[in-house]
Structure 1
Amino acid sequence: MIPAPQTLLPLTLTDFGAVRGSVALSDPLTLTLTPGTVLGIVGPNGVGKSSLLGAIAHSGVASYGSAAFGDEEISKAPARRRAQLVSLMAQDHGAPGELRVRELVGVGAWASGREDPAEAVDSALARAGVAHLADRRYSVLSGGQRQLVQLARVLAQNTPLVVLDEPTSALDLSHQRAVEQIMRGLGNQGRIVIAAIHDLSLALNACTRVLLLEPGGTSHNGTPHEVLGPDRVFAAYGVRTTIHTTPQGRRILAADD
């Protein structure tokens, strides 16, 4: 079990957005995410979901406006302090191939200065379901295994703000469900989780809020059911859809024939 971080504060975006080549990728965003929020960022390819995540995490993507955790501006925090506030799992799962899995996951624990990094690594490996890979070299892993190892690295970092870019894109069905449960579990601990998601059914089931980015820069923010209604999905994607609910209560967004 990954312990909850002690600092649980809101994340406030004020007139915020990502910039690429001096061009803003969306209209300014102003919203507050309270502890426990799991926000899914959805939208068609190319609207800037990954760039927005990188801007929030201040990981090499230029931004405008303010992104503050509590009263602390993330972009102005020293690198070590920022690593204690926010962890990022990017789409690019690259890492030095000679590293063993345990060493790579340990980078997360080291970055945020965990008091017992070895225990943090073991716990994160187990939570992500990759403890059996601990002594393998990263270079020999499959794409899905690398994705889970990068998730373990984020878990070992143990930050109150967790940013995930397409966390299930390379995973089979059982691991997709496991990651969904991890996302909800992090929210239940009071963390703020922000994830770029293409699977709209995942957004319906894992997220408490959804931010839909549309071509042209407009956005919509609200509950999954509010944002992923058929009219709004059609406006963004050009596809007619229906939300189905299974007897077990899971919601599935399917394209209409």
Structure 2
Amino acid sequence: MNMIQALNSALHVKMAEDPNVLSFGEDAGYFGGVFRVTDQLQQKHGLTRSFDAPISECGIVAAAIGMGAYGLRPVVEIQFADYIYPAYDQIVSEAAKLRYRSAGQFTSPIVVRSPYGGGIFGGQTHSQSPESLFTHIAGLKVVIPSNPYDAKGLLTAAIEDDDPVIFFEPKRLYNGPFDGWHQKPVSPWKAQELAQVPTGKYVEPIGKARIMREGADVTILCYGTMVWVSLAGAEHAGVDAEVIDLRTLVPLDIET
């Protein structure tokens, strides 16, 4: 699978397993999302569990928080991470604080999915990387996969988590890893290995990094698209470089 197919598979598996899981966002229902990550969710799971939302990022997240507080597990799509700013207050002031402010009586088990980052010539409003704005917020988990296998396992873990998870998807990697601007896969052996995605359910734990390349001279910490850029650099630099894919920016895997 590529990353789009892996994410789509995770959503189908969890929605089939748990009737409380639902998905919505702008063009994320009938159309299946601009990148097709939510493809066929509405057709398979029905209008009440996969539907289109108005063009209101604040409203999308606010509705999800209410749903989560009542026991549902909404997975909402912000069409591009560049559009997440209108929802920022709801995410950091409401979703992230609900467990603490209610002394544990309520949680906000929501996932906010969004394609992020550059590399597809998307211009100024389709290329931003706002992850740092969320890594500094107590109460949020921030996950960024770099490959199809991790994408499915981590999204499954995010949906099952009882607290809000910001799940950024590197749109540059949706169809596979590439070396810089050239349409040439890097580390093809690793890319092929991590594209072997089971069709059934599995979970990759949140808060655990992945060592992508062993090395003794220098350690490169990276995530998302830069994992593959770092692997390409390590292979051509002439040094024994270790490459660690953080996978989860918060919580950070200090031990690894």
Q: TM-score range by the shorter chain?
A: 0.3 to 0.5
Structure number with greater CO (CA < 8 Å, separation at least 6) is 1
The structure with the greater share of residues assigned to strand is 1
